[in-house]
Structure 1
Amino acid sequence: MRRLLPAVLLLVFSLYASASPTLQTIASARIVDIARAELDACLGDDKAVAQVDVVGKPEDVQVLSGGLVIKARKPEGRWPRARVGMPVDISVNGQVVRSATVWFAVSVHHDIPGYAADAAMGTVASTLKFTPHDADIAMLQSAVVTDPSQINGMRLRHAVLAGSPVLLEDFERIPDVDRQQRVDVMASYGVIKLQAKGTAIGRGNTGDTVLVLVDGAETPVHARVTDKGVVQVVD
């Protein structure tokens, strides 16, 4: 029996070893390369002017042996941006078994429209002048105005400084009736139609109801905006 014991133990160990799953290692550098390739594809034509640096990478990854596929996913949210995490899925035999994220610092410089001079809040867009300025568009938090038609009928929602980029979020649509605006007030009482002048207390667009103080009146009335600078008193 003692003579058989070593042989039995050897058989048990060999059976255990054959039953244990084998692993494969994916090097961190390979994951980074795949993430970088997807990032370059997302940059498109901007790849030529972009500066990209790896600022965070995963460790080597071990997974079970089998058919291996490593695929990076497109980043979500605003693009391009200064910091971007590229998620990478690792699949074995068609099933995702691990995911890793590679972090990049991104800089993309372009000549974009900038304000030619300081401008105050409320300035009508059509009166503004723009000149090209170099900017890192990955640092911007809003879309850039690339065509004047994008801001037709709009005005600045805040003051801007010369040289700062022209962003869509800088603007708001000019309402049909604005606060403290002089308006034409229309009123109907049966077949009787009246017209007067007044001052809007609130602001709104066609279809909205605002408070208006009619000239000579002590209290404001509710009026519906029917056109630019025109309101109709409602019951």
Structure 2
Amino acid sequence: MRRLLALLSLVLSMSATGSPSLQTVPAVRIVDAAQTEIDACLGNDKTSAQVTVVGKPEDVQVLAGVLALKARKPEGRWPRARVGVPVDVVVNGQVMRSTTVWFAISVQHEVPTYAADAPIGAVAAGMKFVPHDADIAGLQGDIVNDPHQLDGMRLRHAVLASSPVVLEDFERIPDVDRQQRVSVLASYGVIKLQAKGTAIGRGNVGDTVLVQVDGAEAPVHARVTSQGVLQVVD
């Protein structure tokens, strides 16, 4: 609708004067508007951040009138290494053009890092972290700022010493894991049996997984009732 109104304004201007009266918006003004928005997003990080323009628009021509440049907040994760800031070119209250200014951003922060290499499956509770400076804009994932965020979790892949600790490195430890030795309960009327077995699948309380009961010919389905304990289901 806004673009339609702008086009209508152009047509009326041409009808009245024979040709539209135009004004040029220098690219440097558009970049300045985007830079101001980046600075606002950085807040207190502005002094420690490195911001470089890596993609800027050309000069823009629009209808003559009261000009305003309105930069919009970048979408997605913040901060990140490459950020596009959309800028609307507004004349007499109507958006005439929209263009994007691209920035490369680096923000140094002290973050937790791994004190040593660790293999897949390492339990977070047994790991040590040390503070180290890192470019948080270049990280893929959410920094772990509180060790309690990792309660009951383990590594989903191997990590290297000095790498930043991000939440995406971890997964929750299931109540029953694959190849875990478990207790298996079974009920047949008033008869209740208990045996040992090995879980074939993994799951949490309420999930049904396959388990190979010691001495049985074939695995059975059992529901996880607590950590390391399953109940055979019909």
* TM-score, length of structure 1 as denominator length: 0.91
Q: Deviations over 1:130-176 (max 9, x none)?
A: 00111111110111111001111000111111111111111000000
Q: Once the 2 structures are TM-superposed, how far is the Cα of residue 111 of structure 1 from its aligned partner?
A: 1.1
1:129 partner amino acid: K
2:177 partner amino acid: D
Q: Distance in 2 between matches of 1:168 and 1:18?
A: 62
Q: Distance in 2 between matches of 1:43 and 1:127?
A: 35
Q: 2:158 — aligned with what?
A: 159
**Does residue 34 of structure 2 align to residue 31 of structure 1?**
no
Q: Helix, strand or coil for the counterpart of 1:45?
A: helix
Q: Distance in 2 between matches of 1:94 and 1:152?
A: 53
Matches within 5 A, 1:197-208: 197-208=196-207
Q: Distance in 2 between matches of 1:195 and 1:151?
A: 33
**Does residue 194 of structure 2 align to residue 195 of structure 1?**
yes
Q: Helix, strand or coil for the counterpart of 1:34?
A: helix
Q: Helix, strand or coil for the counterpart of 1:150?
A: helix
Q: Distance in 2 between matches of 1:202 and 1:179?
A: 5
Aligned alpha-carbon RMSD (Å): 1.4
Matches within 5 A, 1:28-107: 28-107=27-106
Name the stretch that deviates more: 69-78 or 35-44: 69-78
In the alignment, structure 1 segments of 5+ residues that lack a partner are 1-14
Aligned positions, number: 221
1:130 partner amino acid: F
Matches within 5 A, 1:89-128: 89-128=88-127
**4+ runs deviating over 4 angstroms:** none
Q: Helix, strand or coil for the counterpart of 1:37?
A: helix
Matches within 5 A, 1:192-231: 192-231=191-230
Percent of aligned pairs sharing the same letter = 75
Q: Once the 2 structures are TM-superposed, how far is the Cα of residue 189 of structure 1 from its aligned partner?
A: 1.1
Q: Deviations over 1:79-108 (max 9, x none)?
A: 111111111011222221101111111010
1:165 partner amino acid: P
Q: Distance in 1 between matches of 2:219 and 2:42?
A: 56
Q: Helix, strand or coil for the counterpart of 1:135?
A: strand
1:119 partner amino acid: A
Q: 1:181 — aligned with what?
A: 180
Q: 1:149 — aligned with what?
A: 148
1:18 partner amino acid: T
Q: Distance in 2 between matches of 1:95 and 1:154?
A: 52
Q: Distance in 2 between matches of 1:137 and 1:204?
A: 34
Question: Whose Rg is larger?
Answer: 1
Q: Once the 2 structures are TM-superposed, how far is the Cα of residue 16 of structure 1 from its aligned partner?
A: 8.4
1:35 partner amino acid: A
**Inter-CA distance 191–85: structure 2 relative to 1 (3 Å threshold):** same
In the alignment, structure 2 segments of 5+ residues that lack a partner are 1-13
